[in-house]
Amino acid sequence: MLSFLWPITQKVASEINGDVEITWYQGKKLLDTKNANFSYGSLDLILEEAFKYTHIKQKDTVLILGLGGGNFIKKIQQDFLHTGKITAVELDKEIIRIAKDEFGINTNDKIEIFHQDAAKFIKNTKNTYDFIFVDIFVDNLVPDFFYSTVFWNSIYSVLKPKGRFLFNAGILLKNSTKLDLIVQSLDKKMILFKKEGINKTNTLLFGEKS
Ligand SMILES: C[S@@+](CC[C@H](N)C(=O)[O-])C[C@H]1O[C@@H](n2cnc3c(N)ncnc32)[C@H](O)[C@@H]1O
């Protein structure tokens, strides 16, 4: 109740993202870094907007690159009654602990969490997925590798036929050329759709394998 009067924040040091903050704000628990919301704040609004343009089927096999606090998992379970298999990959050990202890994201026969670099995971996985959410940030930046054609060719190859992806492609990217290479390399084999200014800040790229 106190969080309706003022935010209550706990700071935790993490090896990859620096200090992260778990904040109770207006009755909701958020996960922030110094310069960005990772989960349950603006990400929740961004997902709300994203799901006007894409969808998840109840039994879809879902891959999440960048677990964060598990906002996406809770959202698809709530909005799409998703009950299929979810695989989440997260580089930051402390973030995995926070997802479990602070946000109740537990592994079970439907949810598996890999403590690994997503770049390595995507190169080695033998599985294929119906839906991939690429949401990799260190603080407020997407590391360059996740704009590379090498990475996106791997994403393409692990998507099932008719599989879809959602890429949270960056903050204040307007007029940037960062997505051009991805679009060029996938344009002939996928239906792509870019949306800028989501929640006034974020660029999203949507794709569906034809
Ligand atoms: C915006 S948060 C993800 C939010 C999350 N998708 C959710 O639904 O709550 C970005 C995450 O990417 C993770 N990350 C950064 N670099 C990574 C990498 N190379 N491999 C896997 N995860 C990475 C960060 O530690 C952080 O937890």
The domains located in the chain, with CATH, are: 41-209 (3.40.50.150)
The candidate with the shortest Cα–Cα distance to 155, out of 134, 183, 169, 138, is: 134
User: What is the residue with the minimal CA distance to atom 25 of ligand 1?
Assistant: 92
| Packed helices 42-50 and 71-79: angle between N→C axes, nearest 10 degrees | 40
Q: Counting atoms of ligand 1 from 1, which one is nearest the CA of 168? A: 1
Q: Which of the four pLDDT bands, split at 50, 70 and 90, describes residue 204?
A: very high
Euclidean distance between CA atoms 123 and 127, whole angstroms: 11
Q: Is 76 in the pocket of ligand 1 (CB under 6 A)?
A: no
Using the atom order of ligand 1, give the atom closest to the CA of residue 146: 19
Tell me how far the alpha carbon of residue 5 lies from the centroid of ligand 1, in angstroms.
Answer: 30
Instruction: Give the pairing type, strands 8-14 and 18-25.
Output: antiparallel
Give residue-wise pLDDT tens across range 125-172.
999 999 999 999 999 999 999 999 999 999 999 999 999 999 999 998
Q: Which atom of ligand 1 is nearest to the CA of 72?
A: 8
Mean pLDDT, residues 21-32 taken together: 92
**For 19-28, what is the mean pLDDT?**
91
CA distances from 159 to 1, 31, 63, 90 (A): 44, 29, 10, 19
Distance 136 CA to ligand 1 centre (A): 4
Q: Please tell me if the CB atom of residue 70 comes closer than 6 angstroms to any atom of ligand 1.
A: yes
Is 113's C-beta closer than 6 angstroms to any atom of ligand 1? Answer: no
Are 57 and 66 a contacting pair, CB within 8 Å? no
- With residues binned 3-state (H G I as helix, E B as strand, rest as coil), the percentages for the chain, rounded to 5, are 30, 35, 35
Query: Mean pLDDT across the chain, nearest whole number?
Result: 94
pLDDT, position 91 = 98
CB of 39 within 6 A of ligand 1: the answer is yes
User: Which atom in ligand 1 lies closest to the alpha carbon of residue 143?
Assistant: 16
Give the number of other Cβ atoms within 10 Å of residue 143's Cβ.
15
- Separation of CA 43 and ligand 1 centre (Å): 12
According to DSSP, residue 84 is labeled S
Position 3 scores a pLDDT of: 61
